[in-house]
Amino acid sequence: MMPIPPPGAPPKRGWVILDRDGVINRDRADYVKTPAELDFLPGSLEAIAALTQAGYGVVVATNQSGVGRGLLSEQDLDAIHAKLETAVQAAGGQLLGVFACPHAPDAGCACRKPRAGLLQQIATWAGIDLVGVPVVGDAVRDLEAARSVGALPILVRTGHGEKTLREWPDVAGLSVFADLTAFARHWITRSTAAAWRQDGA
Ligand SMILES: [Mg+2]
Ligand SMILES: [Zn+2]
C-alpha cells in the first residue's frame, strides 16, 4: 500500500478516527473491490468536510480483509482510497491518512479490528495517545478496538449499526448517532462551545 506521509502541524481541535464501510460508504457483503463499488452514504463527504473545516484531523481506520482473501489487490485498494480522498477533497475536506488492515481474519495479524494495532499505528504516526479521541464505527469490533486503547467509541446507525446496537452489552454508556452527519454536527458544536468557554473565560 502507499506509504502515508506524516501529518504536518497537529490539528487545531484534535483527531477524529472513522471506520470506512458502513460509515462513509455503503458496506457490501461482497466487499468493495473497485473504485466504482465505493458508493458514498448521503452526507458523509460533507460531514468529513465540516470536521476538517472545524479544525479536526480526520483519519480512516478500516479492515479490508478482501485483500487477504484474494478478492482485490493492494493496488485496487490504493485506487479505491485515491477515489475516497479525491471525493473528500472535492467536498471541501481532507483525510490526513487512510490506515487499512489488508489481512484475512485467520492471518493472526495485530491490526485487524477488534485488535488495537491499526489504532496504535495511528497513534504512533500522529504522535498522540488516543484517550478520548472519537472512533466512529458501525460494528462491534470498531467499538471494541476503540475501547481497548482508551479512545471514545461512537456508534452510527448506518451500515451494521442497528445490529450492533442490539448486540452491544453496554448501550447505556455508548454514544449513538443516526449517521456521520449527526455525529459531526454534535462533535463540532460541542467542541466549539468548549473553545468559546476557554477563550472567553
Ligand atoms: Mg464498518
Ligand atoms: Zn492486519
**pTM for this one?**
0.94
Q: Which ligand is nearest to the CA of 155?
A: 1
191: CA distance to ligand 1 center in Å? 25
pLDDT attached to residue 146 = 97
At residue 85's C-alpha, the angle toward residues 79 and 91, to 5°, is: 140
Q: Which ligand is nearest to the CA of 25?
A: 1
The string of pLDDT tens digits covering residues 56-71 is 999 999 999 999 999 9
In this structure, of 84-98, 104-118, 160-174, the range with the lowest mean pLDDT score is: 160-174
pLDDT above 70 as % of the chain: 94
pLDDT attached to residue 6 = 80
pLDDT attached to residue 7 = 83
Q: Is 177's pLDDT higher than 70?
A: yes
Report how far residue 76's alpha carbon sits from residue 1's, in angstroms, rounded to the nearest whole number: 10
The two counts, helices (H) then strands (E), for the chain are: 7, 6
Q: Which ligand is nearest to the CA of 113?
A: 2
71: CA distance to ligand 2 center in Å? 16
pLDDT band at 187 (very low <50, low <70, confident <90, very high): very high
pLDDT attached to residue 197 = 64
Cell triple for 120: 496504535
Question: In the annotation, is 19 catalytic?
Answer: yes
Q: φ, ψ for residue 104 (rounded to 5)?
A: -70, 155
pLDDT above 90 as % of the chain: 86
Q: Which residue has the higher pLDDT, 159 or 5?
A: 159
Q: Is 171's pLDDT higher than 90?
A: no
Distance of CA 182 to the CA centre of its chain: 15
pLDDT band at 201 (very low <50, low <70, confident <90, very high): very low
The string of pLDDT tens digits covering residues 15-32 is 999 999 999 999 999 999
Cell triple for 31: 466487499
Q: Is 107's pLDDT higher than 50?
A: yes
Span 82-98, average pLDDT: 98
63: CA distance to ligand 1 center in Å? 8
118: CA distance to ligand 2 center in Å? 8
Length of the chain: 201
